[in-house]
Structure 1
Amino acid sequence: MNSINRNLGLSLARVTEIAAIECGKWMGRGDKIAADQAAVNGMRRMFDTIDIDGTVVIGEGEKDEAPMLYIGERIGKASAHAPMVDIAVDPLDGTTSTAKGLSNAISVIAVAPKGTLYNTEVYYMEKIAVGPEAKGCIDLNKPLKDNLIAIAVALGKNLEDLTVTIQERDRHDAYIKQCRELGCRIKLFRDGDVGMAIATCIEDSGIDVLVGIGGAPEGVLAAAAMRCLGGEIQGRLFPMTQEEKLKAPKEDFDRVLTIDELVKTNEVIFVATGVSDGDMLKGVRYLSGSRVKTHSVVMRGETGTVRYIEAIHNMDKKIAYADVYAAPGE
């Protein structure tokens, strides 16, 4: 098996950049399906320019009834010497945020050697994520209270100073109640739990722990980033319907997935580009003269390197992008 070239991350940044540019056109226009489709279209076409032999092992295609980037789809130019890789993808993490013109929407990819990224057809996952200083202190089999106390001790904080981020959904009312009873600070968010999980690894983000039930693809993507950043995430599949219960053996719904099971290697690359302004990345800026400014992050697990990239794209000169870049409705 060919290893992943360290320069692959920069090529993947071009994929998330064009996906962000495409779907960013739909910001605030109230159509999350069109925004998501624009991101999928841009990402899929740019993947065809990269020399990898990739397979989507976890993605949003079937969940969102999108025609591309479905689980099992082959991606890349696949030359004789191309590395064989698993791909986890979310062309637009934060579809509702984009449609409403809200924050923290990103386009995101994780790539690792074939057979190393966790895959499932179950859509949702219960998660808990922390940064490096609290690594080793979490256990999804234990009550939330016990986890929060252990995290506070590891961070040298009082519970009243611990900040828990939770997605604002009715299914999380019990989590919110428990946090309030303990006196913890709470930061609610509407969409974009990949970025919020990563925020636990960024010291000045003000976020200590993420808890709740969110997308399984986002769980794998977050695990890839946390492999690079030294954090920890645990997940457990959480079926929402009877149909989902049939997608995996019953024991899979009882098993806690560690970060080493979600991403089995340090040879992983995580890439994201901001669509709307967020805690980690700035959103797309559409400048005069067909110029577009993007803000991306590229992380590499083997070295722990984190690169932030600000790029200005002159769309008139991007011949390779010409058939990708188009205003909504064109």
Structure 2
Amino acid sequence: MPDQLWIERGKELARVTDSVARSVIELSGKNEKNRADHICVEAMRSGLNELPYKMTVVIGEGEKDEAPMLYSGEVLGAGGEEMDLIVDPLECTTNFAKGLPDSMTVILAADRNSVIHVPGTYMEQILLPLNADPGPEIFDMDRKEVLKRVSLALDVPVKDLTVIIQNRSRHENLIEDIRSAGASVALIESGSISAACDIFARSENRYHMLWGSFGAPEGLVLGFLSRANGYRFYGRIDPHNEKTEEEARELGVLGRVLRGDEWIAGSGVLVMTGLHDSTWLRGVRRSYKNEEVDHTTTTVIWSLGQKLELECFNGRFH
């Protein structure tokens, strides 16, 4: 599908993510993760079912942490043109429940049958400059060598590189290796998509890479974003239990290291509406008058060739 048509599809999907954001924002900071997740899932399901397409959910967020979810294989829409969907109705659920930055609602639509199916588990991921790409052996390389390649590609000394990593015990060795090589580590609690967008924005040239084991749905989104922003992404499924290991084996992805353009081979569009502010995307703004509440949202629409930012006031884009 031509890029501009994907942008138009993105505008339709943006009405769904805007509705999700307005539906859940009153639970911001109220420590009700599951209830907020459920509201987002149902609002997204309802909105997608109104669109004149036949959309198949390739992977939905939730299985690895047993949260409410739009399930893999679920078909949505009123019928028509077919496409694959990757959905995360409430990205950074914990941040949203705690009232912290970096939460949003996400839909990625792609050409039908262009997305490799993955189980609802984790994925080893690395995001780095395109011209630092050493190939699919990257996860088995000496980590100092990977950092040297990034240093040369960016013309930035290793000591000035900063790698974004999630603050989890599974990353202790990775963090130690990066710091022992002389580079810096920026630890995040959640929000790999937002972290990647900080890298793409090159704000103060502070962040240079993302590395570690994150959710597989987010990995597919990062794979798409890497293509849209001239970066290289590699991912390898990292099952968290025997069930997802067997699923990965049955799907033919266990042990495979794939680029972003292999995880999602076709074209598509990514739609993200902010719930809480991040450095690159504004969250929902509420204003009050005569006991009525007005909502303003910001949505980013990203195709492989374009990026569009829209504001919506009470469900009306302008």
Letter in 2 for 1:171: R
2:301 aligns with 298
Alignment of 1:214-229 (within 5 A): 214-229=214-229
Q: Decide whether the 8 Å contact of 2:18 with 2:297 is kept in 1.
A: yes
SS at match of 2:186: strand
Distance 1:117 1:223 in 2: 11
Query: Which residue is 1:247 aligned to?
Result: 247
Deviations 1:258-282 (A, max 9, x none): 11211102x2101101111112211
Question: Are residue 307 (structure 1) and residue 305 (structure 2) matched?
Answer: no
Cα distance in 2 between the residues matched to 1:172 and 1:145 = 16
Structure-2 residue corresponding to 1:185: 184
**Structure 1 residue 145 displacement after superposition:** 2.1
Alignment-derived partner of residue 87 in structure 2: 89
Give the length in aligned residue pairs: 309
Which amino acid is the alignment partner of residue 223 of structure 1?
A: G
Determine helix, strand or coil for the equivalent of 2:96. helix
Shift of 1:136: 6.1
| Distance (Å, rounded) in 1 between the aligned partners of 2:6 and 2:56 | 17
Match of residue 9 from structure 1: 10
1:226 Cα deviation from its structure 2 partner: 2.1
**Distance of aligned partners of 1:136 and 1:202 in 2 relative to their CA distance in 1, 3 Å threshold:** farther
* One-letter amino acid of the counterpart of residue 142, structure 2: P
Q: Write 1 or 2 for the structure with the bigger share of helix.
A: 2
Distance 1:261 1:159, change over 3 A: same
Shift of 1:227: 2.1
**Residue 273 in 1 paired to residue 273 in 2?**
yes
Q: Is 1:123 the counterpart of 2:126 in the alignment?
A: no
Structure 2 contact 60–69 (Cα < 8 Å) conserved: no
Does residue 69 of structure 1 match 2:70? Answer: yes
Change (3 A) 1:93 1:71: same
Overall identity of the aligned pairs, in %: 33
Q: How far is 1:131 from its partner?
A: 4.3
CA pair 246-159 structure 1, distance change in 2 beyond 3 A: same
1:207 equivalent in alignment to 2:207: yes
Q: TM-score if structure 2 supplies the norm length?
A: 0.90
- Whether the 8 Å contact between 2:198 and 2:280 is mirrored in structure 1 is yes
Corresponding residue for residue 33 of structure 1: 34
Amino acid at match of 2:228: C
The alignment partner of 2:253 has SS state of helix
Secondary structure at the aligned position of 2:314 is classed as strand
The range that moved more, 185-194 or 66-75, is: 66-75
Whether contact under 8 Å (2:129, 2:153) holds in the other structure is no
The residue number in structure 2 matching 1:50 is 51
> Is the Cα–Cα contact under 8 Å of residues 55 and 85 in structure 2 kept in the other structure?
yes
Distance change (3 Å), C-alpha of 1:41 and 1:173: same
The TM-score, its normalising length taken from structure 1, stands at 0.87
CA 1:48–1:252 in structure 2 vs 1: closer, same or farther (change >3 Å)? closer
Question: What RMSD, in angstroms, separates the aligned Cα atoms of the two structures?
Answer: 2.2
Q: Give the secondary-structure state (helix, strand or coil) at the position aligned to 1:15.
A: helix
Give me the whole-angstrom Cα distance separating, in 2, the residues matched to 1:13 and 1:137. Answer: 35
**Residues in 1 aligned to 2:24 and 2:315: alpha-carbon distance in whole angstroms:** 17
Gaps of 5+ in 2: none
Q: Deviations over 1:4-50 (max 9, x none)?
A: 55411111111111222223222111111111111111111111121
Deviation at 1:135, TM superposition (A): 5.4
Cα distance in 1 for partners of 2:131, 2:286 equals 38
* d(CA) in 1 for partners of 2:96, 2:273: 13
Counterpart residue identity of residue 238, structure 1: D
Distance verdict in 2 for CA 1:242–1:50, change over 3 Å: same
More deviation, 206-215/138-147:
138-147
CA separation of 1:2/1:271 partners in 2, compared to 1, >3 Å: closer, same or farther?
Answer: closer
Q: CA shift at 1:83, angstroms?
A: 1.7
The 1:136/1:229 distance shift into structure 2, 3 A limit, reads farther
Contact 2:56 2:76 in 1 (8 A): yes
210-219 or 29-38, which deviates more: 29-38
User: Which one has the bigger strand percentage?
Assistant: 2
